[in-house]
Amino acid sequence: MKRFVTTVLAMASLAAPLAHAQSEPAVTVYSSRIEQLIKPLFDRYTKETGVRINLLTDRGGAIAERLAAEGEGSPADVLLTVDMGNLWSAAERGLLRRIESPTLDGNVPANFRDPGSRWWGLSRRERTIFFDPSKLKPAQLSTYEDLADPRWKGKLCLRTGKQTYTQSLVAMLLVKHGEEKTEQIVRGWVDNLATDVFTNDASLLQAIAAGQCEVGIANTYYYGRLISRDAAIRDKVHLFWANQGADEGGAHVNLSGGGVTRHAKNPAGAQKLLEWLSSVEAQSGYTHGTFESPVNPAVEPDDIIKGWGIQFTPSPLNAADIGAKQPDAIRLLDRVGYR
Ligand code: FE
């Protein structure tokens, strides 16, 4: 297992406003979000409020395991993680506490938060279809489900089923279609693979650019990252919003998000920090460096994101319902031999 990286982000610094100095207790955040992306935002929070943030980062699964193993003795006040399956499972395992926050409820649309008020989405991560425009026209594409059709044989690229994003996409299909039909769809995908499943979305998108496959499914922010480094990718790989037809259910939207830990020593400070992260003021800082979309509808996404078009219908399914199907999705993927 990777070693934990602990960083005291800002000691009671001279930059902190005097009125706040030493008055407010620090907030300890366990995060599976990359440190370099979130640190500047936390530094800003410390500068504005005087509240120190202790940050510990690791992969999503590992950080939740650590929180669970520490139990009552855990120093963590906030858990930040990615993927609705991880958020759901953290709540299910009793790692998060229920809090009342009209601010969070006001900033985060209802389908992007826990109905039990234990976690809230903080960024949206759309997972949709990408294709090679030299080989396909958008009119030939329609839905995730359609990619199971035999006419896509040898043309489809997918990410490994061992990864939570694939599991959440299949969990979404389970909520939508039930077990039998979802199994048919996933079997169809596996039959259509152009090559072995990919360990990450970036190499999948590059495989489309290289002509290895005609079509694939990936998170939009990986596309954003590639474009930000090499604008030519935009011509080699195009984005297609999946499932936009009237009865097709909308494109799959995953989340990063967080909640206050069950054994938080500073729950009030934890809640304030989460509320701030969902605010108009912080949402661009939280999402723009990552090419994710703000969860707060009052905030505009990054220009690169606007470049590929943000007019699309997202799936209205509740993130918690999809998260709850994650264990079934994992079993299904195993059963059909999706590696
Ligand atoms: Fe990712």
d(CA 299, CA 313): 17
Distance 222 CA to ligand 1 centre (A): 7
- The string of pLDDT tens digits covering residues 59-81 is 888 999 999 999 999 999 999 99
Decide if domain 5-124+255-301 falls under CATH 1.10.3720.10: no
Q: Which residues pair with 57 in a beta bridge?
A: 5, 31
Are 112 and 63 contacting, i.e. CB atoms less than 8 angstroms apart? no
Distance 200 CA to ligand 1 centre (A): 8
> How much is the pLDDT for 310?
85
Distance 82 CA to ligand 1 centre (A): 8
Please compute the mean of the pLDDT values over residues 77-104 and round it to a whole number.
97
**Residue 4, pLDDT above cutoff 60:** no
Higher pLDDT, 12 or 101: 101
Distance 219 CA to ligand 1 centre (A): 7
Distance 268 CA to ligand 1 centre (A): 30
Q: Which two tokens stand for residue 332?
A: 């299904």
Mean pLDDT, the chain, as a whole number? 93
Measure the N-to-C terminal CA separation of the chain; round to a whole number of Å: 22
What does 151-209 look like in DSSP terms, one character per residue?
GGTTTEE-B-TTSHHHHHHHHHHHHHH-HHHHHHHHHHHHHHBSSSPBSSHHHHHHHHH
Domain extent listing, the chain: 5-124+255-301, 125-252+310-335
Distance 292 CA to ligand 1 centre (A): 10
d(CA 224, CA 28): 30
- The string of pLDDT tens digits covering residues 112-146 is 999 999 999 999 999 999 999 999 999 999 999 99
- The string of pLDDT tens digits covering residues 224-279 is 999 999 999 999 999 999 999 999 999 999 999 999 999 999 999 999 999 999 99
Distance 278 CA to ligand 1 centre (A): 20
Distance 125 CA to ligand 1 centre (A): 9
CATH class of 125-252+310-335: alpha beta
Asked, colleague to colleague, whether 5-124+255-301 and 125-252+310-335 share their fold, the answer is: yes
Distance 74 CA to ligand 1 centre (A): 26
d(CA 117, CA 3): 32
Distance 95 CA to ligand 1 centre (A): 23
> How much is the pLDDT for 289?
84
